[in-house]
Amino acid sequence: MSAVPDTHRAIDAVWRIESARLIAGLARIVRDVGLAEDLAQEALVAALEQWPEAGIPDNPGAWLMATAKHRAIDRIRHEQMADRKREEIAREMDVVDEPDLDAQADDDIGDDLLTLIFTACHPVLSSEGRIALTLRLVGALTTPEIARAFVVPEKTMAQRIVRAKKTLKNAGVSFETPHGDERDERLASVLEVVYAIFNEGYSATAGDDWMRPALTEDALRLGRILAGLAPGEPEVHGLMALMEIQASRAKARVDADGAPILLLDQDRSRWDQLLIRRGLAALERAEELSAGGPVGPYTLQAEIAACHARAKEAEDTDWDRIALLYANLATRTGSPVVELNRAVAVGMASGPEAGLAVVDQLVADGDLEGYHLLPSVRGDLLDKLGRADEARAEFERAAGMTANQRERALLLERAAG
């Protein structure tokens, strides 16, 4: 049997791990995120051509960076740029040592990954473009995966990403971490992007795995960096609290075979108490900074997560408080997804019939058409009401709408009773 397929799978795994740092390091050098991604992709093609024969190098990330850097040098030379600054960059690249990718990733202020996110979140881009571009460049997600996450056609998402890169280039956006007032203005967008990356890691939208741990780890690390950069911002700490507490459940969210385990069925002794303590400490800091003013949406979500974290058993959960927090959050955000979560909490606090009334209003509104969790939640509430045939139909419909294989299996299992 040929070893080539195994090598290709290994290359894909390396790409998932290294691509964000690779693109970030290249963007720091060439000052163009679109060009940086092109160079990284060229290095990936070279790996696909050479590694099956030569074997995977000991440090694949450094190999990819060196290959991409050399291609950048060739491109700069061949284009014969008159711009003196670009010529200086090319000369510097000729003499610089191979970069230490691990050291770059640990640089908390000049962190290339953080700078890449701030660049992708530049205000010249639309909100959708910022999130999509960062998930593409930092999250190493494919365009189809991002399209599924945002429930839009793949072609639309591809155009959105291309347009975002062109906009950054045409606007002459520099690759640097913003400071002062500009940093503050862009912070909300960055928080949105970091949480989007975390969510893709926490509940993968597609593929064979329920979670993508590398993405959650990247989001946590970037969130901690943000907390250091903006220690007086309550929502930074609110986001950190939310992510830390949610991440604490990771080991309990899948069984030995990788199948998902829902929140109320999880063995809470497997929750990471260190992450919970860190999350609760971050929440306390967020609440202190919010004192006397409105509580932000990330802090509200962290308060909901804290209700679960403080309940030693599922039956100890304060569902009345969670329902109240979701009502506050829904008022703040106007999000139908938040309202769907409120329906779950209402169903737990006041009974499945009350929860179903909230869900049926969402169905009537039509805002969540195509969102697989709507029929999933409705199926759960119908099942609790003993309406088995209706519940089965909803679970089957939800299974047909999700692109995650693990989630589909879970929903089909629930449909089978």
- Asked if residue 198 lies in contact with residue 216, where contact means CB atoms within 8 angstroms, the answer is yes
Angle between helices 352-365 and 373-384 (to 10 degrees): 150
358: tokens are 């909230």
| pLDDT tens-digit readout, 229-270 | 788 999 999 999 999 999 999 999 989 888 889 999 999 999
Give residue for tokens 């109240």: 324
In the predicted model, is pLDDT for residue 13 greater than 80? yes
Percentage, residues of the chain above pLDDT 90: 53
Write down the pLDDT at residue 149: 62
pLDDT exceeds cutoff 50 at 176: yes
Q: Give the span between the Cα atoms of 233 and 58, in whole angstroms.
A: 42
| pLDDT level of residue 228 (50, 70, 90 thresholds) | confident
Mean pLDDT for the chain?
A: 87
**Model pLDDT, residue 250:** 93
What is the rounded average pLDDT of the residues 381-388?
A: 96
Q: Which residue has the higher pLDDT, 84 or 327?
A: 327
pLDDT at residue 14, rounded to an integer: 86
pLDDT tens, residue by residue, 181-216:
787 778 888 898 889 889 888 887 766 677 778 788
Residue 20 has pLDDT above 50, yes or no: yes
pLDDT tens sequence across 121-159: 888 998 889 888 988 988 788 888 888 766 578 999 999
Query: Is the whole model's pTM more than 0.85, yes or no?
Result: no
Helices then strands, each counted (H, E), the chain: 20, 2
pLDDT of residue 86: 56
Contacts of 39 (CB under 8 A, 6+ apart): 26, 30, 68, 69, 71, 72, 75
Which pLDDT score, from 0 to 100, does residue 80 have? 55
Q: What is the pLDDT of residue 1?
A: 41
Give how far Cα 197 sits from Cα of 140, 152, 286, Å. 10, 18, 21
User: In this structure, what token pair is assigned to residue 320?
Assistant: 């009345």
- pLDDT of 85: 58
List pLDDT tens digits, range 291-333. 988 899 999 999 999 999 999 999 999 999 999 999 999 999 9
| Full set of structural domains in the chain with CATH | 1-97 (1.10.1740), 110-203 (1.10.10.10), 332-417 (1.25.40.10)
Q: How confident is the model at residue 106 (pLDDT cuts 50, 70, 90)?
A: very low
Task: Tell me the β-bridge partners of 260.
Answer: 254
Looking at the DSSP assignment, which residues form a beta bridge with residue 404?
207
**Which pLDDT score, from 0 to 100, does residue 23 have?**
93
Helix boundaries (H) for 31-83: 33-54, 60-79
Distance CA 229, CA 191 (A): 12
Report yes or no: 26 and 36 within 8 Å, Cβ to Cβ: yes
Distances (CA, A) of 15 to 18, 106, 138, 226, 251: 5, 20, 11, 25, 25
Specify the pLDDT at position 257.
Answer: 85
